[in-house]
Amino acid sequence: MGERKVVPFLAPTYQQKGLKLVGQQKLKNCYFHLTPGMSDGRGQYSVLSSPGFLDTVAITGTLVRACISYNNVGYAVVDNKIKKITSAFVVSDLGVTLGGSTGTVTMAATGTEVVVCANSKIYRIVTTTDVVTDITAVLTGIDALNIPIWVMAQNKRFIYLTSNSSQVHISAIYNCNSITSLDGFIPNTIAGTISSGAVTTWYQYYFNENSVEVFRDTGAEIGPFARVDGGAVPIGIAASNSALSIMNKVYYLGRTNNGLLGVIELDATNYKVVSTPDFVERINSYASYTDALAWTDTHNGHIFYNITFPNKETTPGLTYNTGTTWSYDITTNMWFERTSYDEDDDRETRHVANCSMYLGDTQLIGSWKDGNFKEIDTDYYDDDGTEINREIITSTLIDRDSFFSIYNLEIDIERGIGLVSGQGSDPQIMIEISKDRANTWSVPLVRSVGALGQYKSIVRVGSCGGGKSFALRLRMTDPVAWAISGITAEIEGSVD
């Protein structure tokens, strides 16, 4: 017998020192959780299930285009209507018909006002009366070419981006309807047309295809915003709706003159790429990435920047493209894929979320399929009754020169998680093995992880054969709280 080694398979490739593991792991509808302090060979990472959702707020419509929560009240644009949602999930229509049912919508709030920018117009909602007014003239009255494309709010003021030579206009404090020509500027040190923006507590970010301009509030009464020294970030935006402010940083899909760069994290004028070259390669293969959009959610101490590509591919005979959603875990700096399952077309698609907001203690996502809001939470193990397909593909263990054997494969999974009855009362996991670098897979081995209260079962495969490469694929569909704290195997051979 050769030397016996224990290999932990649940870890990012760069964590595997001294082992010939290649290829990024793939996680679908589950994510890494750091569990430091383990010394039993399992590694420091576990895998948790991404949350499911439950239909919570029913709205007559097709598409939730945008939403915002302000003072414990939600406001949303569904198709061409503006809706108000109370903390008790009571919905009312605010009586305004917008100029279209599709296209970018942005929303901002401060004081007693919520402003909606949609279909080249801006609307003011007075939160104390629910009166909605078209106030587009506050911009076009200064210059007829000031067509609004974006709205933001910071430090008691509203900020309007226009298509008029990329002009930006600033409102008076707590008054979205008061703007003067002195409160306008063009934030372009690098040529390009401003297409979107984002704000954090202190900074404003103005995006064009070539760069990002960074400004901050100086406190001046007139012309209060000024460019930060060195405030031109030389990475433009590839998808206007990908910019999202999370925890006082901004994330967006970035590009340069040389092409797509990946997802960028901005902190004032400091920036870094947080995606991988493999991610960029995949995005470049999509039918389109310029229409990508972003939303966020938080679970178990993990904060996610989610970017959806609605047009991943065009499939003849289907009513819409499949799309895809990628999630960046800001807590661990790792990525995974999120999907929803379309029972009508029997296929996986982009995640159903089109936008998100907190309403009270409830995380809600606005659906792109039915106009409803859904509560998203780790206490839900399916998507409103539809199964979630979860998948883990491990890194591949390779020895190019010698044959090695794998045995005593053990999957340390939360056991006794079965439901009382129905699907999930006897949850099962499917295990597949690849010996050709994850190109083909074996016939699935099906193992039970234990009915409710059965905590002594162990998911184990005694002998997995041998070869020069080895990878695992695990699949789970039962609606239970999947949690895998380690995958280990013993090897014999010359892998070192």
DSSP secondary structure letters along 217-268: E---SSS-EEEEEEEEES-EESSGGG-EEETTEEEEEEEETTEEEEEEEEET
Per residue in 390-445, pLDDT tens? 999 988 888 777 788 888 888 888 777 767 777 878 889 999 999 888 889 999 99
Q: Among 189, 170, 191, 264, which Cα is nearest to 229's? A: 189
Q: DSSP 3-state assignment of 281?
A: helix
* Rg over CA atoms, the chain: 25
> In the structure, what pLDDT confidence band is assigned to residue 3 with cuts at 50, 70 and 90?
low
> In the structure, what pLDDT confidence band is assigned to residue 223 with cuts at 50, 70 and 90?
confident
Q: How many residues does the chain have?
A: 496
**Is residue 183 scored above 80 in pLDDT?**
no
Per residue in 451-471, pLDDT tens? 777 765 678 888 888 888 888
Place of tokens 């991988």: 276
Give the Cα separation of 133 and 142 in Å (integer). 18
| Bridge partners, 256 (sequence order) | 259
- Please give the sequence-ordered ranges of beta strands (E in DSSP) within 135-248, or none if there are none: 148-154, 157-162, 168-170, 184-185, 196-199, 203-207, 212-217, 225-233, 236-237, 244-246
Place of tokens 């302000």: 70
SS3 content of the chain, % helix, strand, coil (to 5): 5, 50, 45
Per residue in 326-376, pLDDT tens? 999 999 999 999 999 988 878 899 999 999 999 999 999 999 999 999 999
> In the structure, what pLDDT confidence band is assigned to residue 20 with cuts at 50, 70 and 90?
very low
pLDDT at res. 326? 96
**Is residue 185 scored above 70 in pLDDT?**
yes
> In the structure, what pLDDT confidence band is assigned to residue 190 with cuts at 50, 70 and 90?
low
For the chain, the average pLDDT equals 88
**Is residue 40 scored above 60 in pLDDT?**
no
211, 256 Cβ separation under 8 angstroms: no
How many CB atoms are closer than 10 A to CB 299?
Answer: 17
The continuous run of DSSP H or E covering 202 comes out as none
**Which residue type, as a one-letter code, is found at position 75?**
Y
> In the structure, what pLDDT confidence band is assigned to residue 19 with cuts at 50, 70 and 90?
very low
295, 308 Cβ separation under 8 angstroms: yes
107, 77 Cβ separation under 8 angstroms: yes
Per residue in 136-158, pLDDT tens? 999 998 888 889 999 999 999 99
- Of 432 and 2, more confident: 432
pLDDT at res. 18? 39
Give the Cα separation of 415 and 51 in Å (integer). 19
328, 59 Cβ separation under 8 angstroms: no
> In the structure, what pLDDT confidence band is assigned to residue 4 with cuts at 50, 70 and 90?
low
Q: DSSP 3-state assignment of 130?
A: coil
Token pair in block for residue 240: 């206007």
User: Using the 8-state DSSP alphabet, how is residue 280 labeled?
Assistant: H
Per residue in 300-329, pLDDT tens? 999 999 999 998 876 655 556 789 999 999
> In the structure, what pLDDT confidence band is assigned to residue 16 with cuts at 50, 70 and 90?
very low
Give the Cα separation of 124 and 114 in Å (integer). 6
Give the Cα separation of 403 and 166 in Å (integer). 63
How many CB atoms are closer than 10 A to CB 386?
Answer: 14
Write the CB contacts of 144 (distance below 8 Å, at least 6 apart in sequence): none
- Averaged pLDDT, 225-247: 93
pLDDT at res. 378? 95
What would the DSSP string read from start to end of 326-337?
A: EEEETTTTEEEE
24-28, 337-341, 386-390: range with lowest mean pLDDT: 24-28
Give the Cα separation of 33 and 205 in Å (integer). 31
Torsion of CA 207, 329, 29, 14, to 10 degrees: 110
